[in-house]
Homo-oligomer: A and B are copies of this chain.
């Protein structure tokens, strides 16, 4: 099963594909742009879901589920939204042998069907806020697909909230960006810029789009989650009006926010190395693998017994642990395979270890071998896992810092983006023409502006006119 990976530094895209496939995370499906998320990849997604969902609920949200198929006429009520999504929608025209009276669109996102329902659900300010989320699949036609990063069907959560004031809705959009940042940083060990998108990069129908942007190991940017302040756009399009506390009729204010299986790709590309994945312990399907080592049948018995006993103790301490007792593979093969799959910690246990009442602990970040008394393994496990979690974050942060630069003029910005890649920060006048110029010459876009506007620190690095914003440029996935 384990074959040689391409070197990450030599061919990053090939490395990515092979890591994802060989680790058992995902593979391509039959229909155009589809993927199969295999158990190892899906389990990582389940831990991410749990981390997000717990926080959604802690911030007062409830889950629900809207239909996947949206009548075409309903979809077409919000103008910008139609323009943004219609070229990408998958269309259902038949049920069994009979043609449908009206084509149905498979949801590319659910604002339309949800705001249409909110019109029925909201009459008074007392019915607000609505704080709802759904976990589901969505589809968008993609020509060039990459596992996790860009597929026609993907899994995500989409939060959709309605509020009685603009301030409350705006605060909600920021709160959910905070939740995303927290999960990225504290759970996935991914340092992110939590910022604001320029107008050109906003969600179709949004008045403000907030984003978390991460830097991958090839120095490219990956947008990893977005939270939108929708103003009253969808409320107007779908007639979600209510009687406010002054007795006046008003339109509701909205937000929507989403994180998708794309973020699993971010985990791979933020932490992986030439030997494969490196998984943050908090989302690793297996946190510790115990590899028994033996040469003789008599050793096999006592080593396996000790390994299973250690597994039970660790499992009792809420560690996700397994023993790799496969008979057909040698320990060295198993070490490589679990390194490829990114398991944070390996415990080696052989006859000599047992004679010395100890085990060897090897973590996936430092690679150091530590001999630990058997009786202390359970006690030290959380600490080692926590070190790995912190180590991955520190590594990724140092990498991002090394690859983030200040651009003092256009030549530097242009050459930096082309020659070095990474993030380039500098003042921007706020004009689309300057964004366009940078993109045309370098393929880079503005990934984020600070959440609250700051002093740009000088004139626009592109045109030299007065600076308005401090922008971070990068080439993105």
Chain A residues within CB distance 8 Å of chain B: 29-32, 34-39, 41-43, 46, 62-71, 74, 86-97, 100, 103-104, 106, 113, 116-117, 126, 132, 136-137, 139, 141, 152-153, 155, 328
Residues of B within 8 A of A70 (CB): 30-31
Complex formed: what's the CA distance from A155 to B116 in Å? 22
Compute how far the CA of A137 lies from the CA of B35 in the bound complex, rounded to whole angstroms: 16
16 cross-chain CB contacts under 8 A: A29-B66, A30-B74, A31-B69, A31-B104, A32-B95, A34-B69, A39-B64, A41-B64, A42-B63, A43-B63, A67-B153, A68-B137, A69-B90, A90-B95, A93-B93, A93-B94
Q: Which residues of B contact A90 (CB under 8 A)?
A: 69, 92, 94-95
Inter-subunit contact B94/A29 (CB<8 Å): no
Contacts of A65 in B (CB 8 A): 36-37, 42, 155
Besides A38-B64, A42-B65, 20 other A-B contacts (C-beta < 8 A): A29-B67, A29-B113, A30-B70, A31-B70, A32-B100, A34-B67, A34-B69, A35-B67, A36-B65, A42-B64, A46-B63, A67-B153, A68-B139, A86-B96, A87-B97, A90-B92, A91-B94, A91-B95, A92-B92, A96-B141
**Which B residues touch A89, using CB under 8 A?**
95-96
Asked if residues B67 and A36 are in contact (CB atoms below 8 Å), the reply is yes
Given contacts A34-B67, A37-B65, A71-B30, A95 and B126 within 8 Å (CB-CB) = no
Q: In the complex, what's the smallest C-beta–C-beta distance from A247 to chain B, in angstroms? A: 15
- Shortest beta-carbon distance, A427 to chain B, in Å? 39
Q: Given A86-B96, A92-B90, A96-B87, do A39 and B62 touch, yes or no (CB 8 Å)? A: yes
For A42, give its contact among B62, B93, B116, B139 (CB under 8 Å).
Answer: B62
Residues of B within 8 A of A46 (CB): 63
With A and B bound together, what is the CA distance between A328 and B127 in angstroms? 12
- In the complex the two chains form, what is the Cα distance from A63 to B117 in whole Å? 32
Checking B95, B117, B126, B328 against A36 with a beta-carbon cut-off of 8 angstroms, the contacting residue is B117
A134 to B151, CA, bound (A): 19
A389 to B59, CA, bound (A): 29
Distance in angstroms from A413 CB to nearest chain B CB is: 35
The one of B86, B87, B136, B153 that contacts A69, using a Cβ cutoff of 8 Å: B153
Q: Which residues of B contact A113 (CB under 8 A)?
A: 29-30
Residues of B within 8 A of A36 (CB): 64-67, 117
Cα A153 to Cα B91 with chains together (Å)? 16
Are B116 and A68 in contact (CB-based, < 8 A)?
A: no
Please measure, in the bound complex, the distance between the C-alpha atom of A277 and the C-alpha atom of B325, giving whole angstroms.
50
CB <8 Å contact, B68 and A153: yes
- 9 shortest A-B CB distances, which residue pairs? A34-B67, A39-B62, A95-B141, A91-B94, A29-B67, A37-B65, A31-B69, A87-B96, A42-B64
* Interface residue from B64, B92, B96, B136 paired with A88 (Cβ < 8 Å): B96
- Residue in B42, B62, B92, B126 whose CB lies within 8 Å of A91: B92
Complex Cα gap A96–B126 (Å): 40
Chain B minimum-CB-distance residue to A131: B39
What chain B residues lie within 8 Å of A100 (beta carbons)? 32
Q: How far is the CA of A116 from the CA of B65 in the complex (A)?
A: 30
Quick check: A39 and B66 within 8 Å, CB to CB?
no
Residues of B within 8 A of A116 (CB): 30
Q: Measured between C-beta atoms, what is the minimum distance from A63 to chain B in Å? A: 5
